Structure 1
Amino acid sequence: MPHFIMEYSANLDDDLDIPSLFEKLNETAIATGVFPIGGIRTRAVRCEHFRVGEGDPENTFVHLTAKVGAGREPEVLKAASDKVFETFTEQLQPIFDRRYMSIGFEMIELHPERNYRKNNIHEKIAKMKNDA
């Protein structure tokens, strides 16, 4: 974890460089030292139907949700959230400067007893480190 899920208004297709944005978000998540590399997932959901503010079709939005596993201290999650939001807004700033835009971010801690996972990517990364 985290799983980053970015929803965005379809009218941003020509402005968003999603691969670059995701690269920066993943780098930031790794740099916090809070999240294991093998648990990071990042995906985008294009919202064809949306209404922002008063309904001007030129208004845009981007909302990022980070779902994280339970058990970290609140201060640790707050610091990680601050870093992620900083990177997120820095990457979107050029668009924000040109267009009307709502940027949102929320980090959600998943329930410790109702969150199920199966992942062998951690083993792959450990092997890569050992082989290096």
Structure 2
Amino acid sequence: MPHFSIEYSANLDERVDMQALCALISRTVLETGLFEVGAVRVRAFRAEAYSIADALPENGFIDMSFRIGQGRTDEEKRRTGEAIFKAVGDYLAPLFDTPHFALSLEIREIHPDLSWKKNAIHPRLRGK
């Protein structure tokens, strides 16, 4: 149940292809070998209202949140976070050429007793 959410400032619309970024993150998550294809969800949410640092209009941000189920070691989670952060950082490298961009990533584990799921995609992808 890896759910990846991207929240981003609206002023990045013309500078970042969010669909391509979502696809990049999905590929990177799957390349770790730790997650099942049918479980991966990546989505982006545009923040229309925001205030960043010194409130300059050119300031922008991308805040990434990765919620995963329990069962992976700290090392596996660290490697996954590093792989995602590197792939996204490389993709967004031009934004770091200005002093107006912030990128963050947090991985959180979901408590299994406090999470409910029903997935009709798994049986199709598993061939059942």
Tell me the TM-score range normalised by the shorter chain: over 0.9
Distance 2:107 2:89 in 1: 15
Alignment of 1:54 onto 2:54:
yes
Taking the aligned partners of 1:43 and 1:65, their CA distance within structure 2 comes to 10
Q: Which residue of 2 aligns with 1:7?
A: 7
Q: Which 4+ runs in 1 deviate beyond 3 A? A: none
Give the CA deviation at 1:99: 5.8
Provide the rounded CA distance (Å) in 2 between the counterparts of 1:28 and 1:86. 10
Q: In structure 2, what residue type is equivalent to 1:22?
A: C
Normalising by structure 2, we get a TM-score of: 0.94
Query: Is contact 2:2–2:68 with CA below 8 Å preserved after alignment?
Result: yes
2:111 is matched with 111
Number of the residue aligned with 1:80:
80
1:71 offset after TM fit, Å? 1.8
Separation of aligned partners in 2, 1:100 and 1:30: 31
Other structure's SS at 1:29 match? helix
- Equivalent position amino acid for 2:67 in 1: K
Percent identity over paired residues: 34
> Could you tell me which amino acid in structure 2 is paired with residue 70 of structure 1?
Q
Unaligned runs of 5+ in 2: none
Task: Measure how far apart 1:98 and its partner are.
Answer: 4.2
Partner amino acid for 2:5? I
Q: What corresponds to 2:23 in structure 1?
A: 23
Partner letter of residue 82 of structure 1?
E
Report how far residue 95 of structure 1 moved.
2.3
2-structure distance, mates of 1:55, 1:94? 21
Deviation (angstroms), 1:57: 1.2
C-alpha RMSD of the superposition: 1.4
